[in-house]
């Protein structure tokens, strides 16, 4: 007799489980830890959904950004703990540096140390600009139908 796996998840139940997973990740859990709660399907099922469902993948990316913001809150908590003597300065530094590193990995656009700045610089030679200006002047002269010539006095 063939071994049966879990029943396929579909419809409203799938939507509910996806929403729960996104909620858990947004609240600060990793994908694996969210799956370990048994409130959502296995990590393999979630991975399959992420590969196959673009909308779910986009929600997961947003959840990861929110998870990074949760880590920012954890940094604030560590600072408070240090202020009130619950953590010494060295412990707080290690905790905060670890949180900063994790936030930068989860959401590098916002928390990363290297900001990518794109700038386009067009190199134009002075001679080319003069030629362009001369061509524009010539075009205006032709459009105005200017008659050139010399004036003879009688």
By residue range, what is the domain housing residue 78? 11-111
Q: Locate tokens 């998870």: which residue?
A: 67
Query: How far apart are alpha carbons 49 and 43 in whole angstroms?
Result: 10
Q: Provide the Cα torsion 85, 89, 94, 97; round to 10°.
A: 100
| Short-list 38, 60, 39, CA closest to 49 | 60
pLDDT > 80? residue 123: no
| Entry pTM | 0.59
Q: Is residue 139 included in any domain, yes or no?
A: no
Q: How many domains does the chain have?
A: 1
What does the alpha-carbon distance between residue 90 and residue 96 come to, in Å, rounded to a whole number?
10
Q: What is the CATH number of the domain that holds 25?
A: 1.10.10.60
Q: Is residue 118 part of a domain?
A: no
Return the structure tokens found at 40.
Answer: 């959502």
Q: Is residue 143 part of a domain?
A: no
Q: Does residue 23 belong to any structural domain of this protein?
A: yes
Q: What confidence score (pLDDT) does residue 17 get?
A: 92
Tell me, yes or no, whether 124 lies in a domain: no
pLDDT at 49 (0 to 100): 93
Residue of 145 and 70 predicted with greater confidence: 70
65 assigned to some structural domain:
yes
Computed over every residue of the chain, the mean pLDDT equals 84
47 occurs within a structural domain? yes
pLDDT of 2-40, one tens digit each? Answer: 556 566 777 888 899 999 999 999 998 889 999 999 999
């Amino acid at each position: 007799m063939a071994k049966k796996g879990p029943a396929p998840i579909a419809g409203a139940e799938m939507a509910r489980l996806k929403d729960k997973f996104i909620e858990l990740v947004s609240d600060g859990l990793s994908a694996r830890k969210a799956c370990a709660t048994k409130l959502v399907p296995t990590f393999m099922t979630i991975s399959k959904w992420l590969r196959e469902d673009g909308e779910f993948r986009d929600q997961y990316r947003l959840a990861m950004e929110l998870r990074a913001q949760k880590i920012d809150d954890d940094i604030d908590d560590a600072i408070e703990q240090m202020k009130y003597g619950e953590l010494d300065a060295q412990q707080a530094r290690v905790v905060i540096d670890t949180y900063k590193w994790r936030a930068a990995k989860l959401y590098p656009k916002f928390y990363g140390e290297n900001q990518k700045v794109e700038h386009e610089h067009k190199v134009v030679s002075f001679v080319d600009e003069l030629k362009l200006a001369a061509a524009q002047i010539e075009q205006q002269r032709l459009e105005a139908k200017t008659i050139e010539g010399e004036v003879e006095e009688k």
